[in-house]
Structure 1
Amino acid sequence: MYIVLGAGGNVGSRVIETLRPAGEKIFALVHSEQKASAVDGGNVEAVALDVLDSAALRAVFQRGRRAFLLNPPADPTTDTNAEELKTARSIAAALKDSDLEKLVVQSTYGARQGDGIGDLSVLYEFERLAEASGIPTAINRAAYYYTNFDMLLEPARTGLITTAFPDNFVLPMVSPADLGKAAAARLSGPVSNVGIEYVEGPQRYSFADVAAAFSAVVGRSVSLATTPRDRLEESFRKLGFSPAAARSYTRMTEATLDGPELPREPNRGEITLEDHIAALR
């Protein structure tokens, strides 16, 4: 039996979609009954719970054989680093006495030890906590999600999009659908397939490529404006982020600007940036 955290999200739903045809029982963990009704059925049993409830989570883990672990993002109006560390530690605590034979952990490019660097530090801690459980652990570090651009469709229709990155900045990017497929493959694969792998799209893109992809979709030239580094924190605050979250996201963005991790042999998905943006129409 498989257990999938974040089953209602972009990545978790694709893990389930990939695993479902094999017919093995899947426990799909979601945070609300509404999400549960969307994934429940057939060999998939939806379970709505709060991942901060380690006892309830452990009870589900004890019913399964392998688990896909995804740390849910915190509300940006809160102290996201603090809240996400709480959920990471709760999930890890629930692994005790679970008897799971394998874990697949969703992480990120650039994960590193540190404090208050957004996903980079939180997911590094999540990786370490999972490995400390003693359960064989496969870690998939994901490139920059294409879905980060979804909110730019309407601004693109006006001819201008704003990002934190200059137009010539090249960054590994990926579709959550390809992340789900990669995670499902490791989850169903040999227990010995552990350690860190990197997952990105079929090629690397610049932010000029992002603007060009939007131009093709909206039928007009789209320009790109770059938020200056000294105004990043202010820009996050204007989006409604708490002061703590704005600082954390600014530090994470700056770390990426200073040099993203570029593995030589990533696991490459199939979905292009252009295909993802075209599907937003």
Structure 2
Amino acid sequence: MHIILGATGHVGSALTQALLARNEPVTVVTRKASKAESLKTKGAHVVEVDVFDTTALHRVIEGGHRLFALNPPAPPSTDTVAEERKSLNAIVAALEGCKLEKIVCESTYGAQPGDGIGDLGVLYDMEQALRQTGAAPVSAIRAAYYMSNWDASLATAQKEGKVHSMYPPDFKLPMVAPHDLGEFAARLMLGAAEASGPHYVEGPERYSPGDVARAFAQALGRPVQVAVTPPEQWEQAFRSLGFSEAAAKSYVAMTRLTLESKEEPERPERGATSLEAYISALVRKSAT
């Protein structure tokens, strides 16, 4: 039995569907069972458990053989780093005494030790903490920037003819479609019960905000430009979106590190979905 944390998100859902398509038994863990109804219809066993309920989570994990660990993102209105460290600690506590065949965890490009740097620090700590539990061999996926992060730009591209970005129009980022991450995670989940990675996963090539704007322009059939937010306005921009002061500061630090410390893995795993194909599908879906 595969146990999937974060199964109702972009990547967890893609992974669950990839495993079900291979006729694998899957239990998905969610705080609200209603959000997993479509996965239940496809054959997944759904368990409603809050990640902070370590006793209940331990019981679920103990009933499986392989675990996909995704630390849930905290609401931006909170101190996201503090809250995500709490949920990470709860997952680690739930693993105490468990003996699994394998753990696959979802981390990120740029993961590194440090405080106040958002997911870069928290997910690095997750990689280390899961290995230290001794519950199972760990394989870490360091995922590129999710193409789904641009989903919210559809509205501004349609209404304003703009894609808002904190990166320069020509800054190339590793990006990846959640579907491709799910497929790669499925292969790891079904692979040898041994530690591996970190596995860097990105799309067929790297893309810039300018490429995003061009993809929206092509899909929408109208001009779309990049509107760049300068660094001195980053924190206020996050605050205007409802981020707490602490969250805004950590996201600013994470954005700056991404801009200044471009990661170049020697042999990244490459998904098949191009940015153009992803944006085109997003626009088509919004029209139905």
Which category of TM-score, normalised to the shorter sequence, fits these structures? Answer: over 0.9
User: Structure 2: which amino acid aligns with 1:263?
Assistant: P
User: Do residues 236 (structure 1) and 254 (structure 2) align?
Assistant: no
User: Do residues 172 (structure 1) and 179 (structure 2) align?
Assistant: no
Cross-structure match for 1:93:
93
- Paired residues of 1:171 and 1:205 also in contact (CA < 8 A): yes
How far does residue 118 in structure 1 lie from its aligned partner after superposition?
Answer: 0.5
The worse-fitting range, judged by mean Cα deviation, of 137-146 and 211-220 is 211-220
Q: 1:11 & 1:262 partners in 2: Cα distance? A: 23
SS at match of 2:107: strand
CA RMSD of aligned residues (A): 1.1
Please give the TM-score of this superposition, normalised by the length of structure 1.
0.97
SS at match of 1:203: coil
Cross-structure match for 1:70:
70
Runs of at least 5 residues in structure 1 that lack an aligned partner in the other structure: none
User: Do residues 14 (structure 1) and 14 (structure 2) align?
Assistant: yes
How far does residue 33 in structure 1 lie from its aligned partner after superposition?
Answer: 2.2
- Paired residues of 1:36 and 1:47 also in contact (CA < 8 A): no
Runs of at least 5 residues in structure 2 that lack an aligned partner in the other structure: 284-288
Percent identity between the two aligned chains? 47
- Paired residues of 2:165 and 2:227 also in contact (CA < 8 A): yes
User: Structure 1: which amino acid aligns with 2:140?
Assistant: I
How far does residue 43 in structure 1 lie from its aligned partner after superposition?
Answer: 4.4
How many equivalent pairs are there?
281
How far does residue 41 in structure 1 lie from its aligned partner after superposition?
Answer: 4.2
- Paired residues of 1:24 and 1:43 also in contact (CA < 8 A): no
- Paired residues of 1:186 and 1:193 also in contact (CA < 8 A): no
How far does residue 21 in structure 1 lie from its aligned partner after superposition?
Answer: 2.9
User: Structure 1: which amino acid aligns with 2:219?
Assistant: V
Cross-structure match for 2:50:
50
Q: Deviations over 1:43-65 (max 9, x none)?
A: 42001111011111110111000
Q: Deviations over 1:16-72 (max 9, x none)?
A: 111113333211111102113232246420011110111111101110000000001
Q: Deviations over 1:55-105 (max 9, x none)?
A: 111101110000000001000011100000100111111111111110000
Cross-structure match for 1:264:
266
SS at match of 1:224: strand
Q: Which runs of 4+ in 1 moved over 6 A?
A: none
Q: 1:266 & 1:213 partners in 2: Cα distance? A: 24
Cross-structure match for 1:151:
152
Q: 1:97 & 1:38 partners in 2: Cα distance? A: 32
Q: 1:17 & 1:161 partners in 2: Cα distance? A: 31
